[in-house]
Structure 1
Amino acid sequence: MIKDILEKAVSGQRLTASDALTLLESHDLAAIGAAADQVSRKLHPEPYRTYNVDRNINYTNVCTAVCNFCAFYRGPKSDEGYVLPREELLRKVEETVALGGNQILMQGGLHPRFKLDWYEQLLRDIKSAFPSVNIHGFSPPELHHFTKVNNLSIEDVLGRLKAAGLGSIPGGGAEILVDRVRDVLTRGKVMTDDWLNVMRVWHQMGGISTATMMFGHVETLAERVEHLQRIRDLQDETSGFTAFICWTFQPDNTDMDDIPAAGSFEYLKTQAVSRLFLDNVPNIQSSWVTQGLKMGQLAMLFGANDMGSLMIEENVVAEAGTVHFLSLRQIREAIEELGFQPRQRDVFYNLVSDELQQRAIDAGDQATAKELVQLAV
């Protein structure tokens, strides 16, 4: 039965939710991975595989939502809450540009006090100083939160932020897009339909975004498939997702540390099934940040065509104690070992200029990503 499903996917036929569930229930990792690799190579026959150089800037950790899986957030009354001073945030962007980066991933908690004009000025300050840097910012939970704090529609919020300099939206805060799961995991955070509607409206405005899934906690395999189905349905409607990234829940230092961590077997299988099912999402990113170098590299043979980002700085997953650090040289060598040319891209999946790529390579030869983080914090 699995053989017929895989042949169906490789031939270009769309899989059903039942097909995807059957694959997730299977233990034939090699066959599923081989099929995902065939599909990936058909979609991406080019001789290269890509990566990005950016920085994850968490402008605040203050958050009104309570997420049992999150080790990063602090409540509004916590002594450990922070908001980055504007000059420090701009310094982080400057360092990113100096290292050959052309994008910042900017996310924070759901801060209860800041109005929309605070975020507009933040975007203007960044774009004024660094007009060529793309701001990949504000996940759907943040954007939905802005509508509540400001009593504005999501159309108004996104329109104003886009005018101020917002370039694209990350897929953070998706976890599993099933309300039963979200009710268990979190309180005070956006639910499934509103998460999807933030993306829908942004895509309708001409914007692009990524989609994500954090799995391996309280969801069933059927709910994992339901998440993929919701992403695929919206992509059919808008075509606004450029990439899909999945990773396993990291339980350490969270309120859910009694849940055993999902292993590499489950990660590779779920990513491969994602590649087979999401036939309308052009790119799949490997998640070496949570899986490590070798597993992140192996993921490139299980449906991924992109190694993701160098991640000059990462704070959220790091709070769970599981983040891996790689140098740009390691990322490029991992791609080369698979027989591909490593090429730096931007968030739109355009290849960057040779000059910008070489600047990043030269900077990467001088320090590892871990050292860069230590210098930055």
Structure 2
Amino acid sequence: MPSDTQLNAIRTKVENGQRLSFEDGFYLDQHADLFTLGELANIVRERKNGQVTYYNVNEHLNPTNVCVYRCTFCAFRADLKSEKGFVMSDEQILHRAEECHSRGATELHIVGGLHHKLPYEWYLNIVKMIHEAYPEIHIKAWTAVEWDWFSRMTGRPTKELLAEMKDAGLGSLPGGGAEIFHPDIRTQICDYKADGEQWIRVHREAHELGLRSNATMLYGHIEKIEHRLDHLIRLRNLQDETGGFQTFIPLAFHPDNTRLSHIPKPSGLMDLRTMALSRLMLDNFPHIKAYWVMLGIKIAQTALSYGADDLDGTVVHETIYHAAGSDSPQELGVDEIKRLIKEAGRVPVERDTLYHEVIRENGTSWKQGRKLQLV
């Protein structure tokens, strides 16, 4: 590490498990080289999770891409009468759930568009019918933006809707829709939809109901380091309050087919620096995920030495980021995931959504093991 008084003071904080300030984060971004950031982030990563890297066997379900909002960064959405617009039938949705079950997946990740001609009950029924048909599959569904939309449609409080969905079979919330919380940026890239405070409120309410959730940040577009740090500290503050977040996922912006297509895709250097800084700032988050769909396989694998301890899962049927130009595969097999983790010098451990160890009796039959420690 360079002979720099402030960098050395930050290193001492990291080694002693002390919290970094906004100013510390800003200094690291401006003055620490990539390898220094990686070294420091790896200290935290190994303190919390040792040599383990987690993965899960999951599938994605996007029941509709019709959306009332027109976020500048989104290539997935479609207008009601657009040729690319779609709404899945109950039969198609249950077929996807059956596929998920037959593959031995432990999780179905469900997000979609905010369809202004479909009632809230349509979304509720998706959770209900999947849970009734396949109760062993964990349903992780609907971003905070979707919950806010459900509330606007029904005139009911989001906490009441969360409780209703939980009773119907909802297991946890994904972290999407966070984008960048700072209003100077959010109003430019996703005006009108739920703002940063509303996103925080929905996740607070979910945690109060005993639902775990993930958190995300979309980086590499028009935001700057101060906006990213502001975002991370808001998440850290809520985690101090509730302890309900499991994983943070930095999401690299993909510009293709969006209204920000003139912006270059984040470099691998930025991906790794953002991963490392996220691990350092989010001292109270047990896990940091390298989402290979957005990062690409090589950067995601490298990120396991830059703070990440989770590689996500098999995924299958991901459409949102592929619409925006992701050139990663549609899915990865378990053997390939294990190989990538081992090549990175880590120990692969399969988990379920709530970080219980998954014990496989064969390829598709499984049972829940011990609760994996959340530090």
Q: Same fold (TM over 0.5)?
A: yes
1:231 aligns to what?
A: 235
1:122 aligns to what?
A: 126
Residue 118 of structure 1, CA deviation: 2.0
1:140 aligns to what?
A: 144
1:346 aligns to what?
A: 352
Deviates more, 1:173-182 or 1:347-356: 347-356
- Aligned with residue 189 of structure 1, among 172, 193, 203: 193
Residue 156 of structure 1, CA deviation: 1.4
Residue 36 of structure 1, CA deviation: 0.6
Per residue, is there more helix in 1 or in 2? Answer: 1
1:274 match: secondary structure: helix
Kept in 2: contact 1:25–1:221 (CA 8 A): no
1:212 match: secondary structure: strand
Q: What is the root-mean-square deviation in Å for CA atoms of aligned residues? A: 1.5
Identity %: 36
Task: Check 1:297–1:226 CA distance in 2 against 1; reply closer, same or farther (3 A cut).
Answer: same
1:11 aligns to what?
A: 16
Kept in 2: contact 1:64–1:188 (CA 8 A): no
1:319 aligns to what?
A: 323
Kept in 2: contact 1:139–1:171 (CA 8 A): yes
Q: Deviations over 1:235-284 (max 9, x none)?
A: 00110000000021111111101112110111101110111110100001
Where do 5+ consecutive residues of structure 2 fail to align? 1-5, 367-375
- 1:78 paired with 2:82, answer yes
Deviates more, 1:249-258 or 1:290-299: 290-299
TM-score by length of 1: 0.92
Residue 89 of structure 1, CA deviation: 1.1
2:169 aligns to what?
A: 165
Residue 329 of structure 1, CA deviation: 2.1
Q: Deviations over 1:62-109 (max 9, x none)?
A: 100111111010123323221111111111111112222111000011
Question: Aligned letter for 2:354?
Answer: F
Task: Check 1:10–1:75 CA distance in 2 against 1; reply closer, same or farther (3 A cut).
Answer: farther
2:170 match: secondary structure: coil
- Aligned with residue 282 of structure 1, among 286, 291, 295: 286
- 1:337 paired with 2:331, answer no
Residue 119 of structure 1, CA deviation: 2.1
Question: Aligned letter for 1:21?
Answer: F
Kept in 2: contact 1:174–1:195 (CA 8 A): yes
Moved over 6 A (4+): none
- Separation of aligned partners in 2, 1:103 and 1:298: 25
Q: Deviations over 1:182-223 (max 9, x none)?
A: 100023311010011000000011110000011011111100
Task: Check 1:146–1:193 CA distance in 2 against 1; reply closer, same or farther (3 A cut).
Answer: same
1:65 aligns to what?
A: 69
- Aligned with residue 210 of structure 2, among 194, 206, 214: 206
- 1:102 paired with 2:110, answer no
Residue 132 of structure 1, CA deviation: 0.5
- Separation of aligned partners in 1, 2:145 and 2:72: 15
Question: Aligned letter for 2:339?
Answer: E
Deviates more, 1:84-93 or 1:237-246: 84-93
Residue 360 of structure 1, CA deviation: 8.4
- Aligned with residue 220 of structure 2, among 183, 204, 216: 216
